[in-house]
Structure 1
Amino acid sequence: MHAQLTGAATGPDPADAPDAGDDSVDLGHHGDVEVGEGLVDLAVNVRRDPPPRWLAEPIAASLADLAAYPDPGPARAAVAARHGRPPAEVLLTAGAAEGFVLLAQALRGIRRPVVVHPQFTEPEAALRAAGHTVQRVLLDPADGFRLHPDRIPADADLVMIGNPTNPTAVLHPAADLAALARPGRVLVVDEAFADTTVAPDVPGEPESLAARRDLPGLLVVRSLTKTWGLAGLRIGYLLGEAALLRRLATVQPLWAVSTPALAAATACAGPEAVRAERAIAARLAADRDHLVTRLSTLPGVRVAGRPASAFVLIHRPGADRLRDELRRRGWAVRRGDTFPGLGPDWLRIAVRDRATTDAFVTVLAEILEA
Structure 2
Amino acid sequence: MRDYDLHHHGDREVGPGLVDLAVNVRLPRPPAWLRDELASALDTLAAYPSSAEAAAAVAARHGRAVDEVLVTAGAAEAFTLLASALEPRRAVVVHPQFTEPEAALRAAGHAVERVVLAEADGFVLDPALVPADADLVFVGNPTNPTSVLHPASALLALTRPGRLLVVDEAFLDAVPGEGESLAAGHPGVVVLRSLTKTWGLAGLRAGYVLAEAEVVERLRAVQVPWSVSTLAAVATVACCRPSSLEEAEKLAVAAEEDREYLVSGLASAGVPVLGDPRGPFVLVRIPDGAAVRGRLRDAGYAVRRGDTFPGLGPDHLRLAVRDRATTDAFLKALEEVR
Normalising by structure 1, what TM-score?
A: 0.90
Match of 2:316 in 1: 346
> Which of 199, 215, 218 lines up with 1:247 in the alignment?
218
SS of alignment partner, residue 92 of structure 1: strand
> Which of 47, 55, 58 lines up with 2:37 in the alignment?
58
- Note if contact 1:312-1:348 (Cα within 8 Å) is conserved in structure 2: yes
Query: Shift of residue 159 of structure 1?
Result: 0.2
Match of 1:357 in 2: 327
Query: Shift of residue 179 of structure 1?
Result: 1.1
Match of 1:112 in 2: 90
In structure 2, what residue type is equivalent to 1:239? Answer: L
> Which of 100, 119, 133 lines up with 1:141 in the alignment?
119
Query: Shift of residue 77 of structure 1?
Result: 0.3
- Rounded to whole Å, the distance in 1 between the matches of 2:175 and 2:26 is 14
SS of alignment partner, residue 227 of structure 1: helix
- Rounded to whole Å, the distance in 1 between the matches of 2:263 and 2:249 is 21
Match of 1:366 in 2: 336
* 1:206 matches 2:179: yes
Match of 1:17 in 2: none
> Which of 249, 253, 257 lines up with 2:228 in the alignment?
257
- Rounded to whole Å, the distance in 2 between the matches of 1:340 and 1:271 is 38
- Note if contact 1:54-1:267 (Cα within 8 Å) is conserved in structure 2: no
- Rounded to whole Å, the distance in 2 between the matches of 1:149 and 1:54 is 42
Instruction: Kindly provide the CA deviation profile for residues 145-195 of structure 1, in whole angstroms up to 9, marking residues without a partner as x.
Output: 000111111000000000000000000001100111112111000000000
Query: Shift of residue 67 of structure 1?
Result: 1.0
In structure 2, what residue type is equivalent to 1:284? Answer: A
* 1:218 matches 2:189: yes
- Rounded to whole Å, the distance in 1 between the matches of 2:33 and 2:169 is 24
- Note if contact 1:303-1:315 (Cα within 8 Å) is conserved in structure 2: yes
In structure 2, what residue type is equivalent to 1:316? Answer: I
Query: Shift of residue 54 of structure 1?
Result: 3.1
- Rounded to whole Å, the distance in 2 between the matches of 1:266 and 1:164 is 24
- Note if contact 1:116-1:139 (Cα within 8 Å) is conserved in structure 2: yes
In structure 1, what residue type is equivalent to 2:179? Answer: P
* 1:272 matches 2:250: no
- Note if contact 2:258-2:324 (Cα within 8 Å) is conserved in structure 1: yes
- Rounded to whole Å, the distance in 1 between the matches of 2:91 and 2:181 is 22
- Rounded to whole Å, the distance in 2 between the matches of 1:352 and 1:172 is 23
Question: Which residues in structure 2 correspond to 1:24-63 (within 5 Å)?
Answer: 24-63=3-42
Q: Which has the higher helix share?
A: 2
- Rounded to whole Å, the distance in 2 between the matches of 1:245 and 1:50 is 31
* 1:294 matches 2:265: yes
- Note if contact 2:296-2:302 (Cα within 8 Å) is conserved in structure 1: yes
Could you list the structure 1 runs, at least 4 aligned residues long, displaced by more than 4 angstroms after superposition: none
Query: Shift of residue 50 of structure 1?
Result: 3.0
Instruction: Kindly provide the CA deviation profile for residues 83-127 of structure 1, in whole angstroms up to 9, marking residues without a partner as x.
Output: 0001100000001000000000110x2110000000000000000
Instruction: Kindly provide the CA deviation profile for residues 26-85 of structure 1, in whole angstroms up to 9, marking residues without a partner as x.
Output: 001000000011110000000234322332222111111111111111110001000000
- Rounded to whole Å, the distance in 2 between the matches of 1:226 and 1:317 is 30
* 1:70 matches 2:49: yes
SS of alignment partner, residue 226 of structure 1: helix
SS of alignment partner, residue 269 of structure 2: coil
- Rounded to whole Å, the distance in 2 between the matches of 1:289 and 1:51 is 24
- Note if contact 1:40-1:331 (Cα within 8 Å) is conserved in structure 2: yes
| Aligned-residue RMSD, C-alpha | 0.9
Match of 1:173 in 2: 151
> Percent identity among equivalent residues?
62
Match of 2:305 in 1: 335
Match of 2:290 in 1: 320
- Note if contact 2:62-2:184 (Cα within 8 Å) is conserved in structure 1: yes
- Rounded to whole Å, the distance in 1 between the matches of 2:221 and 2:228 is 15
* 5+ long unaligned stretches in structure 2: none
Normalising by structure 2, what TM-score?
A: 0.98
Question: Which residues in structure 2 correspond to 1:90-129 (within 5 Å)?
Answer: 90-107=69-86, 109-129=87-107
